Amino acid sequence: MTYRAPVRDMAFSLHEVAGLRDLAGQGAFADLTPDVIEAVLEEGARLAGDILAPLNETADREGARLEDGKVITAKGMAAAYRTWVDGGWGSLSATPDFGGQGLPVALSVAMQEMWNSACMAFGICPILSQGAIEALTAHGTPELQAKYLPKLISGEWTGTMNLTESQAGSDLAALKSRAVPQGDGTYRITGTKIFITYGEHDMVENIIHLVLARLPDAPAGTKGISLFLVPKFLVNDDGSLGERNDVMCIGLEEKLGIHASPTCVMSYGEQGGAVGYLIGQENRGLACMFTMMNNARLLVGAQGVSVAERAYQLALAYAQERRQGRPLNSDLAPGEMAPIIEHPDVRRMLLTMKGLTEAARGICYATAVAIDRTHQGASVEDREASQARADLLTPIAKAWSTDIGVEVASLGVQVHGGMGFIEEAGAAQYFRDARILPIYEGTNGIQAIDLVTRKLPLGNGAVMRDYIAEMSKTASACEASNDAALTEIGRELTAALACLTDATEWMLARLPDEPDDCLAGATPYLKLFGTVAGGYCLAKGALAAVSALSGNDGNSFLSGKKALAHFYALNLLPSVHGLTTPVKSGAAPLFAHDPAA
């Protein structure tokens, strides 16, 4: 069973849940209509289904290999990447100043969902390039932008993020890579980086590394980190490639999943130092890095949606075909078995998979539309409010969506039963691939810390309170409806929002004087927040669906949106009532147990 992008679901989420329809036809998007957006989605769906999806299983089995310092990707990967480049897919949301199409970030996120559903080992490569483009656009000199952005945006070259070192995982203060100024505007970079996705490969002629390193006189800690652009091949003033830079892949990691994505150990300066160019200011690399990371975190959240969607499609197809057992009160003939989708528990698992997937999709798309509004808002106040909303939702988009990616992939294995544990069925690969998502681009624990210590205090809590108020309006609209299902959705969402409000005010009150208590409850708080936000997204969709139905229940797609939101409200949203206690339990229980015991 191959992947087919759920174009109708994606368009519905973009327009009715995330609000992209309100931006289309305005400002820089004046020529963008819902029809154009759906045409782009349809074209991307063909590429994802016909070119990328067939690679997923075969490339996973073959993997990537290192030969004489060169990484050879799995058969078909390089050709697929060339097709992707020729289609102009890398340039969707990039600035037109350097060859981009200037389309909404939200549409680009939807396309990334497709690439990663089709083949996540392929889709991670454009995500890293996008981070490099964002950092260079925001912080690079005009000379660096002119030389490197056009081919990064077109996809002819790819980008990487070189942060991690063996002694410094998430703790960037411990970085040791060095950058020595040469007096001519360049720097010599030395050091070793690990876990570098697509640090070396054969799909493009040049790879542009963004590397964190320290100057000789840099202050200790994160205040002494600078960001450098280090190309695999130096680039001449006319844009042609020059000599090979002093950077090499010296090892490939053997991983649990995404086998076709080369995860490299990169060595800089084995022959005197790799030539690098400063991005931003000396010792201010952390700000540049966060430009990369914030973009990448949203796209990794979309990867969570991607793997969940692929796992759901496979599980649904299996449940419709696999016959086993007989439901109670069945009218089947003696000896005849029913498709397992007829069993209530299997149906519960499938609806859980679909509900979580669509909820996470709504959160990710809404985050992307908020980013688009930071550029397209009617006033400075609108743009600032949109930036604050994007900042608030980014850790939820990354962490909650990737957690549900793992959960949904695990349920996919369960739906398959014993066959799910066998590689041949395919469900196991999605579980293996999904497991990296809560770890890279900032672990989900770090996302929770970021949420409670940096994002909740925005505007002294006003940004979060405004979002809760917005969600409450939707809950009230549902409760006031004459539709019985909408009324129940509104009732459950209102009760869940009471839990979120209680937990939020507890966090805000204790953060100044009892930060450890807040850190102890950060992860359950993020889960509570994400679960409620997901229910809000589905409730918005249900309201839109009921409005469009106008009493005609013959539209199964729209009726399905209401039914799914109703299932989520009754079966998944109530879980938040059990999260308020761990959110508010404080740090003492975590440290009461002596590890020596």
Indicate which residues carry an active-site annotation: 441
CA–CA gap between residue 327 and residue 336 (Å, rounded) = 11
Q: Please choose, from the candidates 103, 186, 183, the residue with its C-alpha nearest in 3D space to the C-alpha of residue 143.
A: 186
CA dist., res. 334 & res. 554, Å (int): 35
As a whole number of angstroms, the distance between CA 103 and CA 84 comes to 17
CA 295, chain centre distance (Å): 9
Closest CA to 258 of 74, 400, 34: 74
- Whether 126 and 155 have beta carbons less than 8 Å apart is answered as yes
What is residue 230's three-state secondary structure?
strand
User: What six digits make up the tokens of 296?
Assistant: 């990448």
Instruction: Report d(CA 520, CA 21) in Å as an integer.
Output: 40
Q: Measuring CA to CA, which residue among 84, 83, 86, 59 is closest to residue 73?
A: 59
Closest C-alpha among 110, 92, 102 to residue 13:
110
Distance CA 228, CA 277 (A): 5
Q: Residue 329: how many CB atoms within 10 A of its CB?
A: 5
Exposed/middle/buried for residue 174 (C-beta within 10 Å: 0-12, 13-18, 19+)? middle
Q: Please list, in sequence order, all residues whose beta carbon lies within 8 angstroms of the beta carbon of residue 34, skipping any fewer than 6 positions away.
A: 11, 15, 21, 24
SS3 per-residue string spanning 362-391:
HHHHHHHHHHHHHHHCCCHHHHHHHHHHHH
Per the DSSP assignment, residues forming a β-bridge with 210 are: 161, 229
Contact 253, 66 (CB under 8 A): no
**How many other CB atoms are there within 10 angstroms of residue 446's CB atom?**
16
Give dist(CA 266, CA 259) in Å, integer: 18
Residue 592: CA count within 13 A, CB half-sphere? 7
**Residue bearing tokens 């979060």:** 464
Nearest partner of 446 among 390, 398, 515, judged by Cα:
398
| Phi, psi of 277, deg, nearest 5 | -125, 130
Q: Both ends of the chain: CA-CA distance in Å?
A: 50
What distances in angstroms separate CA 473 from CA 19, 120, 219, 381, 540, one per listed residue? 16, 37, 49, 22, 10
Q: Residue 393 corresponds to which tokens in the numbers above? A: 């939702």
The C-alpha atoms of residue 218 and residue 136 are separated, in whole angstroms, by 22
